[in-house]
């Protein structure tokens, strides 16, 4: 049943129409006696990660991980000095490296996320997460999460929702920290994935990460990933960019009461302000769709009392 009591389950949210829309939706689908009551098994909520649950500026955090791995691996690859995009990275020219677009990013991610077992990759990510710091705030990347969204995840789970991450980010990368940081276990984390190969090493079974993309969980891939991994259409979906548009459309396309929410980055003082022209987390067509369809749009500056657990940026 819907969570009751005098304590505010969303204390980092200002008392605006956005917060009211969230609470109204949850009460409609989870409160006993509601004509719109949804069985707990069908209370599925999907969340994008980058820009929705944690920050994504000035570059995606997984890309920051990949760039650090390039530096660590460089001594074993002298050929990178004359090969793009690696030659740019080794000279500290990130803009030059990323000028190659998605092909360059794919090559960077491929060489840094393959050629090892899944266990070895988990250990590398864990070590990086324990020491790497955001270039602007100097905080650990796992501290760059949005306090209002942590509260929202907890509020939904208190009302018998099952919360999933559905992200374009790497599934193995996110599974390392998602349970500790968000309370979302590995089996409820959906993301892009590379091919895996079962092998025996010294008689012991391992899964090797191969340098090939298996599934891209972004844009039109998100509804596909939801069907593949979850098998139920979500009744609520949360995102922040055009990459989330199809996931929100898929959630809203079912019957009964549905909810779609976009996080609009409007706070240049406490976080970053960006939308239609940003190369990271572009919010353009999805914003137009949200306005036309009456979806809920978070105005970060107006709707959030606090952005990060540690306070202002």
pTM: 0.96
pLDDT for 100 equals 87
pLDDT for 33 equals 97
Domains and CATH numbers, the chain: 17-56+138-303 (3.40.50.1000), 61-131 (no CATH)
pLDDT for 3 equals 55
pLDDT for 312 equals 58
pLDDT for 1 equals 55
Q: Please list the pLDDT of the chain residue by residue as tens digits (313 residues).
A: 565 556 999 999 999 999 999 999 999 999 999 999 999 999 999 999 999 999 999 999 999 999 999 999 999 999 999 999 999 999 999 999 988 888 888 899 999 999 999 999 999 999 999 999 999 999 999 999 999 999 999 999 999 999 999 999 999 999 999 999 999 999 999 999 999 999 999 999 999 999 999 999 999 999 999 999 999 999 999 999 999 999 999 999 999 999 999 999 999 999 999 999 999 999 999 999 999 999 999 999 999 999 999 975 5
pLDDT for 101 equals 86
pLDDT for 103 equals 87
Q: Alpha-carbon distance 244 to 237, whole Å?
A: 9
pLDDT for 6 equals 67
């Amino acid at each position: 049943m819907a969570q009751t009591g005098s304590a505010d389950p969303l204390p980092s949210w200002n008392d605006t129409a956005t917060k009211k829309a969230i609470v109204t939706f949850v009460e409609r689908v989870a409160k006993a006696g509601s004509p719109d009551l949804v069985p707990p098994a069908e209370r599925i909520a999907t969340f994008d990660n980058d820009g929705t649950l944690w920050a994504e500026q000035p570059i995606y955090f997984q890309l920051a991980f990949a760039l650090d791995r390039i530096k660590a691996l460089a001594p074993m690859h002298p050929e990178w000095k004359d090969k793009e995009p690696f030659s740019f990275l080794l000279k500290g020219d990130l803009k030059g490296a990323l000028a190659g677009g998605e092909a360059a990013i794919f090559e960077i991610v491929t060489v840094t996320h393959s050629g090892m077992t899944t266990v070895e990759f988990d250990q590398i990510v864990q070590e990086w997460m324990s020491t790497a710091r955001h270039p602007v705030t100097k905080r650990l990347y796992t501290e760059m999460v949005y306090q209002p969204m942590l509260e929202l995840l907890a509020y939904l789970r208190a009302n018998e929702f099952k919360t999933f991450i559905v992200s374009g980010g790497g599934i193995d990368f996110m599974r390392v920290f998602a349970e500790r940081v968000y309370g979302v276990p590995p089996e409820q984390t959906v993301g892009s994935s590379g091919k895996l190969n079962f092998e025996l090493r010294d008689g012991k079974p391992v899964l090797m990460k191969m340098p090939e993309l298996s599934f891209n969980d972004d844009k039109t891939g998100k509804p596909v990933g939801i069907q593949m991994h979850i098998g139920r259409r979500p009744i609520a979906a949360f995102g922040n960019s055009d990459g989330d548009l199809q996931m929100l459309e898929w959630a809203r396309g079912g019957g009964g009461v549905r909810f779609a929410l976009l996080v609009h980055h409007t706070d240049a003082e406490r976080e970053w302000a960006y939308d239609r022209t940003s190369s990271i987390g572009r919010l353009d067509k999805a914003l137009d769709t949200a306005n036309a369809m009456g979806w809920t749009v978070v105005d970060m500056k107006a709707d959030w009392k606090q952005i990060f657990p540690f306070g202002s940026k």
